[in-house]
A and B are shown apart, each in its own frame.
Chain A
C-alpha cells in the first residue's frame, strides 16, 4: 500500500498537471502548449545536451554571487551583531535593501558594469546579501545571555565567547539566512539573464519565445523552477539534520 501523504501528493500532482493538459487541449491560448508537449521538449533539450550547457552558463554568476554574498554577508552580519556602533551605522542600509525593490537598480548596474558576467554576479549579490546580513546579525544579537554569562563565569576571553558560544549558537539562523539568500540569488540570476543579456537558461527562454517554440520555453522555465525548489529543499534537509537539537536543547 502507498502511504496517505504520498497518495495525496500524487493526486495533487495529477490534478495540477492534468488541468494544465486539459486547459491547453481546450485551446484557451495559442501560446499554451500541453503538459506532455512541454515534457517532450524538455526531454529533447536534455538528450541534445543543450540544457546542461545552458545551466553551466546560468550557474556561473549564481554560484559566484552567492559565495561572495555569503562571505561578505556573514562577516558584516557578525560584526553588526557584536558592535553597537557598527549596527547603528550599517543596519539601516540593509533594512532598507530588504524591503526595497532592488530590481529597480538593474538598469543602473547595466550602465555601470556593462552586460557581462560582472553585472549578473552583482545583481545576484545585491539580491542575496540583505537577508544574509540581517539573519546573521539577528542571530548573533539573540545569543542567550545566560550562555554568555556562563562562558564568562568560567573565565573565557572575548574571543572565546565569540568563537565557542556566539557563532555556534547563531549558526542555525545564519544557515537559514544563507538558504534564503540562495533563494533570492536564483531570482536575481534569472532576472539578470532575462533583463541584461539572454544567456544560459534565459537564452533558451527568450530564443524559444521569439521563434514561438512554446514547448521549449515552458520546458526551460519548468526546469529552472524545479531545480531551484529541489536545491532549496536539499539545503533545508541538511539544515534540519545538522542542527537537529539546537533549537530544542536550550529551553529549560
Chain B
C-alpha cells in the first residue's frame, strides 16, 4: 500500500492492529483480551522465570529432536524414492496418506506406547514434519537434469559419490523448501503434542495459566511462540530464495 507515494512495507499493518488491540484492551471489551502493553510487561516479568525457561528449553529439545529425526530419515528416504522406482512405488502411497492424514489422532496411541513424556512429543514432531520433507526431496531428485547424472557417471562417479555430490546438491532447492514447510509443521506438531500430553513444556504452562485465568501470562506465551515460529519461517524463506538461481538455470 502507498501513502503519499511512499510505499508502506509489508508487515507494517501489524503496528496498527497492535494499537487496536491496545485500545480494545484498555476499554476492557473482554476479560480475555488484556491490553497489549500489559502483556509485554508480563512477558518482561516472566521471561527469565524458572517455569518459562524450563518450558522453552523442553519445547526446544522436543522440537529440534523431532526435526532432527525428520531430516536424517526424511532426506535419504526421499532421495531413494526419487532414484528407485521400486522403493518409490512401495512407499509413496503411505507417504501421501500420512501427508494428508489428521495426525493428531495418533497422539493417544503414542501416549500409551511411549508414555506421557518427551519421547512421545519428539515422535509427534517428527510425524508432523517428515512427510513433506520426503515428498519435496523426492520431487527435487525426480527433476534432476538427466545429463548431470550422465556427466557424473561418465567421470566414473561411484554410487555414494553420486548420492552426495550430485543428487543432494541438485535437489537442494526443493529440499530446503521441504525443510521450511517441515519446520512450520514441526512447530504445530510440538505444540499439539504438548497440549494433549499436557504435563511438559508449554502444555503445562497453558494448563496452569488458564486454570488460574492469568490472561496476560497466557497471551505472553502465545506471542512468544507465534513470533518465534514466524521469524524462523521467514529466515528459512530467505534462505530458500538464495537458491532460486538453481531453478532458473534448469530452464
Task: Establish whether A and B are touching in the complex (CB under 8 Å).
Answer: yes
In the complex, what distance in Å separates the CA atom of A214 from the CA atom of B97? 23
Residues facing A in B14-53 (CB within 8 A) are 14, 16-17, 30, 32
Interface flags, A124-140, vs B, CB<8A=1, else 0: 00000000000000000
Residue of A whose beta carbon sits closest to that of B211: A107
In the complex, what distance in Å separates the CA atom of A92 from the CA atom of B13? 7
Give the number of residues in B that approach A within 8 Å (Cβ atoms).
54
Residues facing B in A1-38 (CB within 8 A) are 4-5, 8-9, 11-12, 15-16, 29, 31-32
Does B102 sit at the interface, judged by CB under 8 A? yes
Q: A101-B229, A105-B222 are in contact. Are A89 and B13 (CB under 8 A)?
A: yes
In the complex, what distance in Å separates the CA atom of A186 from the CA atom of B101? 8
Residue of B whose beta carbon sits closest to that of A225: B101
Q: A99-B184, A100-B229, A107-B210 are in contact. Are A31 and B191 (CB under 8 A)?
A: no
Residue of A112, A214, A228 touching B100 (CB-CB under 8 A):
A228
Residues facing B in A61-102 (CB within 8 A) are 84-85, 87-93, 95-96, 98-102
Q: Report B-chain residues with C-beta under 8 Å of the C-beta of A102.
A: 188
Give min CB distance, A206 to chain B, whole Å: 7
Residue of B32, B192, B210, B213 touching A191 (CB-CB under 8 A):
B192
Interface flags, A216-234, vs B, CB<8A=1, else 0: 0110010011001100110
Does A156 sit at the interface, judged by CB under 8 A? no
Taking a contact as CB atoms under 8 Å apart, the answer to whether A187 and B8 are in contact is no
How many chain A residues sit at the interface, stated as a range, is 35 or more
Give min CB distance, A205 to chain B, whole Å: 5
Does A195 sit at the interface, judged by CB under 8 A? yes
Taking a contact as CB atoms under 8 Å apart, the answer to whether B100 and A183 are in contact is yes
Interface flags, B208-238, vs A, CB<8A=1, else 0: 0110010000100110011001100100000
Give min CB distance, A7 to chain B, whole Å: 9
Does B190 sit at the interface, judged by CB under 8 A? yes
Taking a contact as CB atoms under 8 Å apart, the answer to whether B90 and A187 are in contact is no
Q: Report B-chain residues with C-beta under 8 Å of the C-beta of A228.
A: 100-102
Taking a contact as CB atoms under 8 Å apart, the answer to whether A101 and B188 are in contact is yes
Residue of A100, A111, A191 touching B230 (CB-CB under 8 A):
A100
Does B94 sit at the interface, judged by CB under 8 A? yes
Interface flags, B67-100, vs A, CB<8A=1, else 0: 0000000000000000000100111011001001
Measured CB to CB, the residues of A under 8 A from B are 4-5, 8-9, 11-12, 15-16, 29, 31-32, 84-85, 87-93, 95-96, 98-108, 110-112, 183, 186-187, 189-191, 194-195, 201, 205-206, 209, 214, 217-218, 221, 224-225, 228-229, 232-233
